[in-house]
Amino acid sequence: MNFIFLSPNYPDNYWNFCDRLKKNGVNVLGVGDAPYENLPQDLRESMTEYFRIDSLHDYDQLYRAVAFFSYKYGKIDWLESMNPYWLSQEARLRTDFNITTGLKHYPASAYDDETLAKNQNAEGIICSYDAVSDSHGEPLFESMTVWPETSLTEDHEDTGIVYYTCPGMPVKLRTLGRKTLKALDAKSRFVHFVFKRLTRTQEGYGEEGDYIAIDTDLCPAGGYIPDMMNFAHSVDVYKIWADMITTDRRFLDDRLQTASELSHHTGETEEDCFSVHASRKEGPVYVHPESRIADKFHDVIVMRTELPESAWQHIGRYVYTLRLRSQHEVDTFIRFLHETKEDEKV
């Protein structure tokens, strides 16, 4: 199987997709604008060959790169970037090279743009339905991530980013996510559908507890969210996706299973937990120093990353990822991380 991966170096963690494909016996071919010598070693080792072009915006250069690989290795079976920015380029290349897998038309949406834009104004908590679907548009894997409505500190000061992947998913969101998969004809995809759960009944939007769509991405969530899914569910979503590409199944309980066989695996297991991703911005005077955070939560912190100084003011110096067992533990950590001296005065 020949698989062309566009821009395989972005985001940083997407080399894992290439790695799992290679481990499944796939011939992985990369096309991108980064110099080969600047690519991470893990990514280099995951590809058979890399074709550098000046810009992925230049369709002629993309076409020549795919034509080169097609001439050298034979028919191209798959072409993906896993990035919403390049979906239209992907679709055009698939048509021109008669690649029968993947999207042929983009954009595709189950909701009109006006509705999605309108729903942005509703009061609610943002959450996502993330899934890997098989060739029939049935989910092999599902997950939910939440972006809290406000900070948990008293004055709701903008102290940093917070979002978390949940151990389970409400039936209402699961049902809506699956309906959206079907409406988009999202077959053999890793998708990221974003909704708002209404926190009160609102005319023109729905009842409290309803979910309304605000975005539908036919690619994975960005940043660390794929890794957070791994931490939350004790899985390897990169392998789940690669197994879908090569077998149209998911490996679970020591065997490959179809989506219909997996249909009873919708409940939480003892291994499922919350995976929290949080930072705090430079500027506010915090009650708890960084050293205290690392000390108090050391047994549940799975990643602690120091960001470039240019990101300290709008994201924070450190980004934490933790595995926590309950919503109470999640809320306690967020309060502890973001509590400021001003909160103490309230």
* Chain segment 218-229, per-residue pLDDT in tens: 999 988 899 999
Closest CA to 226 of 24, 9, 14, 78: 14
Give the number of other Cβ atoms within 10 Å of residue 27's Cβ.
18
Answer whether 200's CB lies under 8 Å from 208's CB.
yes
Identify which of 30-34, 256-260, 286-290 has the greatest average pLDDT.
Answer: 30-34
Confidence of residue 263 (pLDDT cuts 50, 70, 90): confident
Residues above pLDDT 70, as percent of the chain: 94
* Chain segment 70-123, per-residue pLDDT in tens: 999 999 999 999 999 999 999 999 999 999 999 877 666 667 788 888 999 999
Element (H, E) at 132: strand 124-133
Residue 163 phi, psi (nearest 5)? -155, 160
CA dihedral 67, 80, 302, 335 (to 10 degrees): 130
Residue 134 phi, psi (nearest 5)? -90, -170
Alpha carbon 240 to chain centroid distance? 13
- Read off the pTM: 0.93
